[in-house]
Amino acid sequence: QVQLVESGGGVVQPGRSLRLSCVASGFTFSNHVMHWVRQAPGKGLEWVAVMSYDGSNRYYADSVKGRFTISRDNARNTLYLQMNSLRPEDTALYYCARDPAVFVVVVAAMGAFDLWGQGTMVTVSS
């Protein structure tokens, strides 16, 4: 079954850290560009970060640059998002999303999303 399953969300105080994981199955994860996209409660979609298929390049939204780090372990079919210095405005449902592009080294904040996980909720509150 082709799917993405996120985990690692929760309630955290401002300034603290959290690490999200996304496990892929049913397709060749190591071939695809991968993204994180978030959606605040009742709001629209906001792209967060992208990583090349081989982990060589990564780009971030300005709102998370310097605080979040995207990474991947192709041997484990897993995408990660390390979130540091969390703020209340980071509260959102975080989706892992597959890009249809394969064997692409991204050179900018670019891409589309053809497969989405169910999301993991992150709440930043004191």
Partner 1 sequence: DIQLTQSPSFLSASIGDRVIITCRASQGISSYLAWYQQKPGKVPKLLIYATSTLQSGVPSRFSGSGSGTEFTLTISSLQPEDLATYYCQLLNPITFGQGTRLEIK
Choice between 14 and 112, CB closer to partner 1: 112
Q: Nearer Cβ to partner 1, position 73 or 114?
A: 114
Least distance from C-beta 61 to partner 1, angstroms? 8
Q: Least distance from C-beta 114 to partner 1, angstroms? A: 5
Taking the complex as a whole, the smallest distance from the CB of residue 37 to partner 1 amounts, in Å, to 8
Residue with Cβ nearer partner 1 (13 or 40): 40
> Closer CB to partner 1, residue 105 or residue 110?
110
Residues interacting with partner 1, by CB under 8 A? 35, 44-47, 50, 95, 100, 108-114, 116-119
In the 3-class helix/strand/coil scheme, how is the chain assigned residue by residue?
CCEEEEECCEEECCCCCEEEEEEEECCCHHHEEEEEEEECCCCCEEEEEEECCCCCCEEECCCCCCCEEEEEECCCCEEEEEECCCCHHHCEEEEEEEEEEECCCCCCCCCCCCEECCCEEEEECC
